[in-house]
Amino acid sequence: MTHLDFDHTGGIEDFPWATVHVSARELDAASRASGFRDTRRYPKGHLDGVRHWETYRSGGERWFGFDAVRELRGLTDMLLVSLPGHTAGHCGVAIRLGDGWLLHAGDAYFHRHEMDRPTRECPPATRGYQFMMAVDRRLHLANQARLREVYGDPRSPLTVFCTHDIVEFEALRGLSISSEIGAPPAARRGDRNRDAAAASA
């Protein structure tokens, strides 16, 4: 899990035998939730049916400028990448694909124009929601800035996407269907950006 907000955890109680991997700090924040915002972002009914948690402490190896946990128990070619700010223990999930990486940045950003333009741009309602929900706005914006660097770098082996941008999702889905998602990173990013531009036109 990138984090344990209600819109990410709905349904995990339907898989009580599953092992749920998450940062220790995030699970602790959800377990200690109090106040109007946090008790609503972490509904207990979504979490109390999970029988098997695998948690990871922050402070792993450096990975493209981020702290990352490289050894996920029982999993290979996957990392938890520390991206706090939106929540206390928010992480990205990175998956190795051939010579590159697919980085699910969760809610570190909400809209592609926060990444693909020199300055952060997103719809006003989205910007307001991020401001309201961020537990550490400074960290949230700092991680966005670092993601923006790798997102726009044609030499980067990372393909980055977030949870809530449907245009990013459809572009990546199209690459997956056409099997181009295993292409070299620069070509993959070029195809993804072209498809995203077409979809948003």
Q: What is the DSSP letter of 143?
A: H
Residue 167 is assigned to a structural domain of this protein? yes
Residue 79 is assigned to a structural domain of this protein? yes
Rounded Cα distance, 195 and 81, in Å: 27
Supply the pLDDT for residue 154. 85
- The per-residue pLDDT for range 99-122, each reduced to its tens digit, is 899 999 999 999 999 999 888 899
Strands 66-69 and 19-23 come out as unpaired
| Portion of the chain with pLDDT greater than 70, in percent | 87
Residue 1 is assigned to a structural domain of this protein? no
Supply the pLDDT for residue 85. 97
Residue 72 is assigned to a structural domain of this protein? yes
Show Cβ contacts of residue 93 under 8 Å, excluding neighbours closer than 6 positions.
Answer: 2, 78, 79, 80, 81, 103, 104, 106
Residue 50 is assigned to a structural domain of this protein? yes
Rounded Cα distance, 38 and 115, in Å: 27
DSSP helix/strand/coil, 200? helix
Distances (CA, A) of 63 to 21, 47, 129, 177: 19, 30, 29, 29
pTM: 0.85
Number of domains within the chain: 1
End-to-end CA distance of the chain: 32
Supply the pLDDT for residue 119. 83
DSSP helix/strand/coil, 130? helix
We report the CATH number of the domain holding residue 188 as 3.60.15.10
The domain of 168 spans: 6-200
Show Cβ contacts of residue 13 under 8 Å, excluding neighbours closer than 6 positions.
Answer: 45, 46, 47, 48, 49, 50
Q: What is the DSSP letter of 12?
A: G
- The per-residue pLDDT for range 63-109, each reduced to its tens digit, is 888 888 888 999 999 999 999 999 999 999 999 988 899 999 999 99
